[in-house]
Amino acid sequence: MTKNKNNRAIWGRRIKGTPSLLFQKVGSSIDIDKRLYKQDIAVSIAHVEMLFKQKIISFKVKNKIVYGLNRIEKEIIKKKFEFNKKYEDIHMNIEKRLFQIIGVEAGYIHTARSRNDQVITDFKIWIKSSTIEIKSIIDKIIKSILKLAEKNIKTIMPGFTHLKSAQAISFAHYLMAYVEMLNRDKKRFNDNLHNLDENPLGVAAISGTSFNIDRIYTSKKLKFKRPTNNSIDTISDRDFVLDFLYSSSVCSMHISRIAEDLIIWNSEGFRLINLSDKIVTGSSIMPQKKNPDLLEFLRGKSGVIYGNLLSMFTILKGLPLSYFKDLQDDKEIIFRSNDTLLDCLKIFDEIIKNISPNKKRMFELTNFGYITATDLADYLVKYHAMSFRDAYAKTANIVNLAEKKRKNLNQLTLKELKKIEPKLTKDVFRVFDLNYSVDSKKSYGGTAFGNIKKMIMKYKK
Ligand code: ARG
């Protein structure tokens, strides 16, 4: 067994020179991967328990190592652990400290493993728990949205396509669209949990190991479904990193789009929603201002999160199998995306709790843009036996007439309407009623009040 003097690197016997400070600075990842300490210790404990079970190490050595690791964990939690750049990363910082605490028996811990399999095992476990946290925050947001939607089933506003008034919509229907987006995010993150559920530990550096290890045992201990199949692929694979970054990107893109909706609706031109004072900021020069800074933060951060996905793709492009130092940056990239996304999700939940629709203004805006024109065309098809194209043409003529007379559709007289379609009776006026318009969209997924209620109930369950 090699004695490890604590002031030199683990490879100090082979490599005589000490690296320059600059190399230490760029080569060391401890400032970043110290976030993996809990996972690293759990993985090491599972590893030595397996080594003992397989009679590769003795009971005494196993116990000493487990004792040392638990002590290290406490030291780190109590901030009494000294992380040292000289020992590069979390794995070697912990191993070094283990030597200080239990002595030479620490030398058995790295039997039948490498940092190559160790780091991805730690990392997968970390990503797993973060994914679970993200999913639970998304759940919280969905709950907040449902609460707001429930109160606004009958709140009618114009729905927009091309940002032009299109058709009448329930505000709750917009909100439920956001629920769908977030629910897909949740599912996407959940799929990742299944895809990363294979245990890398035991593939060692690249080829596996000559020791009689039990990878199924460590898989169970570390709550993985099964061990990975191929040692070379295992240490090269960062698909699970891309999956997390992609899911984060899509989720942040959703938040960004919703934020933009809310920014537009809050602008002076629209005034469809109010933001409470908790979520706006002022201007240093314009005393009257209440700016939606937080929403802009959400809109912008998707750019940062996409950047991280692209960084990782670029690192992986053309990288030969198997492990290379290039891969070390995966942690920093994930941590940045994760932290940014968590901030965004928490802020988003606060925002949902602090917006309210300006119902009067929503109603007012439905008076512009002839938003019941499609309802009129549908009416002509249903009650006057026309093809949709004929009805569309007749309705366009009616809209032209209304525009010429500077009237809304419902302000035209029956006489005026009859000039364009003589078959019309006064029954036609019901199509201009907004409640009728919204509630008539009963097709599955449409904005009818009953549909929305059912959807809210479904999600509440
Ligand atoms: N800190 C390293 C990383 O995250 C651990 C793996 C080191 N492996 C190696 N062969 N140098 O990439």
Which residue's CA is minimally distant from atom 11 of ligand 1? 325
Please give the pLDDT value at position 5: 57
- Between the CA of 115 and the centroid of ligand 1 the distance, in Å, is 6
421, 380 contact by CB (below 8 A)? yes
Please give the pLDDT value at position 6: 59
Pocket test for ligand 1, best of 94, 328, 334 (most atoms within 8 A of CB): 328
Q: Tens digit of pLDDT for each residue in 66-81?
A: 999 999 999 999 999 9
- Between the CA of 10 and the centroid of ligand 1 the distance, in Å, is 13
Q: Tens digit of pLDDT for each residue in 161-179?
A: 999 999 999 999 999 999 9
Pocket test for ligand 1, best of 34, 83, 89, 235 (most atoms within 8 A of CB): 89
For the CA of 323, the closest atom of ligand 1 is: 10
Which residue's CA is minimally distant from atom 4 of ligand 1? 328
* Dist. CA 162–CA 230, nearest whole Å: 51
For the CA of 328, the closest atom of ligand 1 is: 12
Please give the pLDDT value at position 9: 78
Which residue's CA is minimally distant from atom 12 of ligand 1? 328
Please give the pLDDT value at position 65: 98
* Dist. CA 43–CA 16, nearest whole Å: 31
For the CA of 325, the closest atom of ligand 1 is: 12
Give all strands (DSSP E) within 143-295, no chain letters: 156-161, 164-170, 198-199, 226-227, 273-275
Please give the pLDDT value at position 45: 98
Please give the pLDDT value at position 68: 98
Pocket test for ligand 1, best of 86, 122, 323, 334 (most atoms within 8 A of CB): 323
Please give the pLDDT value at position 24: 80
Residues of the chain with pLDDT under 50: 1-4
* Dist. CA 431–CA 437, nearest whole Å: 6
For the CA of 123, the closest atom of ligand 1 is: 4
Residues designated catalytic: 162, 283
Which residue's CA is minimally distant from atom 3 of ligand 1? 328
User: What is the set of domains in the chain, with CATH numbers?
Assistant: 21-111 (1.10.275.10), 116-178+231-364 (1.20.200.10), 370-460 (1.10.40.30)
Which residue's CA is minimally distant from atom 1 of ligand 1? 89
Please give the pLDDT value at position 1: 38
Which residue's CA is minimally distant from atom 2 of ligand 1? 328
- Between the CA of 328 and the centroid of ligand 1 the distance, in Å, is 6
For the CA of 327, the closest atom of ligand 1 is: 12
For the CA of 205, the closest atom of ligand 1 is: 10
305, 252 contact by CB (below 8 A)? yes
- Between the CA of 453 and the centroid of ligand 1 the distance, in Å, is 53
- Between the CA of 232 and the centroid of ligand 1 the distance, in Å, is 15
Helix or strand run (H / E) with residue 290: none
* Dist. CA 32–CA 42, nearest whole Å: 18
Does this model's pTM top 0.75? yes
Distance from the first to the final alpha carbon of the chain = 60
* Dist. CA 54–CA 457, nearest whole Å: 53
Question: Helix crossing, 330-353 with 115-150: angle to 10°?
Answer: 10
Lining ligand 1 with CB less than 6 A are 29, 33, 89, 115-116, 119, 323, 327-328
Please give the pLDDT value at position 154: 97
If one counts every other C-beta atom within 10 angstroms of the C-beta of residue 169, the result is: 25
- Between the CA of 321 and the centroid of ligand 1 the distance, in Å, is 14
- Between the CA of 81 and the centroid of ligand 1 the distance, in Å, is 21
